[in-house]
Amino acid sequence: MKKQHDDSHNSLWSFEELPPARPAQAQRHRNGAPAEGATKRIEEKEDGGGGEETIKSFPREVFARLAEDAEHAGGEWQEQDYGPGYVGQTLFDTPASEDNTVTVVLPRANIGKVPAQAPVRIQSTDKRSYLGIVVRGPFAEPDGIRGDSPIVITTSVHGTVFLPDYHGRVQVQLLGEELGGKGGQLVPQRFRPLPKSPVYVLTSEEMARVLKLEGEIELGLAIGHEELVVRVPARRKSLWFRHLGILGTTGGGKSTTVSGLVSQLQRQGFATILIDTEGEYTTIDEPTEDETMLAALQRRQKEPAGVEQVTIYHLVGRRTANPKPKHATVQPFCLSFEQLSPYLVCELLEMTEAQQERYLRAYDITKQLLQQLKISPRAGEDANWLLELDELEEGYRGMRLEHIYDVVRACSSLVEKAEENIEFTSPDFKAASQTVLPKLKSAARGLPGAPPSWKALQGKLRRLLNLRIFDHHKAQPLQYDQMLGRGQVAIIDLSDTDSPQINNLVIAELLRGVHRYQDEHYARLEQQQERQAVKDSEGLVPVMVIIEEAHEFLSAERVRQMPTLFQQVARIARRGRKRWLGLSFVTQLPQHLPDEVLGLINNVILHKITDANVISRLKRSIGGIDEGLWTRLPNLAPGQAIVALDGMIQPFLVAIDPTPCKLRMVDELAPASERFPPLSSGKVLPISRWAWKDQGCVPGYPHRAPALGFSSSTEARESR
């Protein structure tokens, strides 16, 4: 005689909650026969107070026979021992059942053993072994009655006296079948577990192995588990070099996640570059002092620690948010005009078609002049690079902004027939003006006319020149060999530029420079026939470029306005994997990232996102995340995130580890989204409508200096 549950669990009402039972009933034996004492009392009671016995005692032989029969049938009922880790059983399918998921029911006592995301093993009664993960539940359902039935609701409202007992139910998504049984290799399943198959929870070690949560980089604890640490390998190309999106609303925990990652990637030998639009990361060389972080670190038995080998780069003439870091080095840098594709310059300066035509003509004339004056290529220089020059990617080597400005200005004077106004800013042209002038005149023959277009173009270049961020004598351009050394961390502090456009110039040049450096390094290694070394990344330093406020750099609007910029980013993203160059896009406004950009991202860490439209868009572009996880996204607490990284068998809800390093408080600044509203919000006018006019302030921004920072930095600061 086998029985699944004991009486207290099998009954509709819990045993303790029943009104006091009649003693005789309460003492009935399991097989239905009254116990000996009980029989006697019945006899006494029925006797009516001491008369003749009306009910005879059961003959003792009957009990003996019953006991014999029971023994014969296998002895007294005992709960089946399914072994350690057993939690429940699979249920029959219903018309509502879905492929790849099975329903598992559990006794009340086991509900706590299968939290959300718990990995389980199902030992199907057909001897197949499956692994799965809890994607919905655990739910507590009343035994034998619907949880929303009126009687349950009514009794709940009025107290718990008649509340039924309950059991647990979870929905398990199948991850695969273990080949050859328990512990075997996981392969896609061809069948489903049969009903009434026992289900087991895995140990933490087994979970980490099965879920492929092993590696050097620790992200945090899987939510719902005490010990399950979500780890990923530092050398997984498909993760780090097929690009990462860290998305979530303000305060969701993105910067904490980023700084924690930087600290770990640094220790793994990555060169990390962080585009820091608010100067928030300029203190990561120090250990955190934040009380919450310290408490959270202690809970995870981790120590506060600053990041090593940090250099803070800031644009020449602009300040850094942390001029005196404790351990980091501060270095000003300038941009290098020769790095910028002429087409990118046209886009960045939002030139009209007429201006573009004139700019490209002037660009060609400048090239000819540089060649004729032997400024570039220099006399005796190997000029092979000229043959390989791809002007969609980069500018002309040796060309400075003042060179092309001088040419545009001269052309403007020539078409105006005001030759006497020609003057040169560039020391190169000034020194050789006797040679330059006649050459210019002959090259300028047949130029398009329309002096206003030339003037407008000249004005735009003048303003760019006034920024004094190109080819500055007081600073060097970014030195990639230094920046991309093993374990180097570069914080590109753009907090004082006050202009998304300048930031974009920096980011565009930086990405190009990093890509070129990795490309050349990779080619050199290949030439040296160190293919094996390249594969093992011994020779190539892995690089991670993290772009905060990515929606500013690559908003839908900007991608449309600046196709060359986007093409460059897309090319870098495509080639990144082979060259160990990864991009991370961080944004609190993922709705502004166009599909093209989302399409570059194969890995995501999603902090809290409340906007239903954004969630449904992300759902379309990010596969593999279960509906149950998506529904939790709007309610995540700071620091919690859905982590869907390549190589993980399943996306996970993770309590991201607190950061060991110090983030600079930027509370005194308005959030970046307010300081730099996205173009589409209509608050910021297109560059051509304000940046190039000599106006004291920007429409809609009465307290700000001419935006784009095309004013001096001091002016911008004073007006803040």
Ligand X SMILES: Nc1ncnc2c1ncn2[C@@H]1O[C@H](COP(=O)(O)OP(=O)(O)OP(=O)(O)O)[C@@H](O)[C@H]1O
CB of 358 to ligand X, least distance (A): 42
**Closer CB to ligand X, residue 301 or residue 384?**
301
CB of 283 to ligand X, least distance (A): 13
- Is 256 a binder of ligand X (CB under 6 A)? yes
Helical H segments across 159-276, by residue range = 204-210, 237-240, 254-267
Distance CA 457, CA 347 (A): 13
Can you say how many angstroms the Cα of residue 140 is from the centroid of all Cα atoms in its chain?
33
CB of 288 to ligand X, least distance (A): 10
Sequence-separated (6 or more) residues with CB below 8 Å from residue 70? 1, 31, 76
CA dist list (Å): 153 to 8, 96, 163: 22, 25, 9
**Closer CB to Mg ion, residue 285 or residue 338?**
285
Sequence-separated (6 or more) residues with CB below 8 Å from residue 536? none
CB 312 within 8 A of CB 322: yes
Selected binder of ligand X within 292, 298, 482, 616 (CB under 6 A): 292
**In 3D, which of 491, 113, 109, 505 has the Cα closest to residue 309?**
491
**In 3D, which of 695, 251, 690 has the Cα closest to residue 499?**
690
**Closer CB to ligand X, residue 296 or residue 475?**
296
Distance CA 134, CA 601 (A): 27
**Closer CB to ligand X, residue 28 or residue 299?**
299
Selected binder of ligand X within 107, 119, 193, 253 (CB under 6 A): 253
The pairing of beta strand 310-315 with beta strand 489-493: parallel
CB of 258 to ligand X, least distance (A): 7
Sequence-separated (6 or more) residues with CB below 8 Å from residue 329? 310, 311, 312
**Closer CB to Mg ion, residue 88 or residue 279?**
279
**Closer CB to ligand X, residue 394 or residue 549?**
549
**Residue type (1 letter), 553:** F
- The piece of 98-106, 161-169, 251-259, 312-320 that touches ligand X (CB under 6 A) is 251-259
**Closer CB to Mg ion, residue 137 or residue 253?**
253
- The piece of 250-258, 301-309, 504-512, 553-561 that touches ligand X (CB under 6 A) is 250-258
Beta bridge partners of 605: 246, 643
CB of 659 to ligand X, least distance (A): 7
Q: Residue of minimal CB distance from ligand X?
A: 639
Site mask, ligand X, residues 656-695, x = CB under 6 A?
x-x------------x------------------------
Selected binder of ligand X within 184, 251, 448, 452 (CB under 6 A): 251
**Closer CB to Mg ion, residue 254 or residue 608?**
254
Residue 502 touches which of ligand X, Mg ion, none (Cβ within 5-8 Å per kind): none
- The piece of 25-33, 79-87, 253-261, 674-682 that touches ligand X (CB under 6 A) is 253-261
Selected binder of ligand X within 245, 639, 651, 706 (CB under 6 A): 639
* DSSP assignments along 308-344, one per residue: SSEEEEEETTS--S-SS-SS-EEEEEEB-GGGS-HHH
- Is 248 a binder of ligand X (CB under 6 A)? yes
**Closer CB to Mg ion, residue 254 or residue 579?**
254
- Among positions 454-473, residues that touch ligand X (CB under 6 A) are none
- Is 296 a binder of ligand X (CB under 6 A)? yes
Distance CA 120, CA 137 (A): 13
Residue 317 touches which of Mg ion, ligand X, none (Cβ within 5-8 Å per kind): none
- The binding site for Mg ion (CB under 5 A) comprises 254-255
The DSSP code for 663 is P
CB 572 within 8 A of CB 612: no
Site mask, ligand X, residues 570-609, x = CB under 6 A?
------------------x------------------x--
- The piece of 163-171, 243-251, 388-396, 472-480 that touches ligand X (CB under 6 A) is 243-251
- Is 283 a binder of ligand X (CB under 6 A)? no
Residue 174 host element (H or E): strand 166-178
CB of 693 to ligand X, least distance (A): 32
Distance CA 628, CA 137 (A): 9
CB of 514 to Mg ion, least distance (A): 22
CB of 590 to ligand X, least distance (A): 12
- Is 500 a binder of ligand X (CB under 6 A)? no
- The piece of 163-171, 195-203, 249-257, 387-395 that touches ligand X (CB under 6 A) is 249-257
Q: 353-372 and 451-466 helices cross at what angle (nearest 10)?
A: 70
With the CA atoms of 76, 79, 81 and 84 taken in that order, what torsion angle do they form, in degrees rounded to the nearest 10? -150
CB 663 within 8 A of CB 259: yes
- Is 245 a binder of ligand X (CB under 6 A)? no
Q: Residue of minimal CB distance from Mg ion?
A: 255
CA dist list (Å): 704 to 69, 123, 302, 556, 671: 95, 67, 44, 25, 16
- The piece of 210-218, 254-262, 373-381, 454-462 that touches ligand X (CB under 6 A) is 254-262
**In 3D, which of 671, 650, 661 has the Cα closest to residue 134?**
650
- Is 252 a binder of ligand X (CB under 6 A)? yes
Enumerate binding residues for ligand X (CB under 6 A): 248, 250-256, 292, 296, 588, 607, 638-639, 656, 658, 671
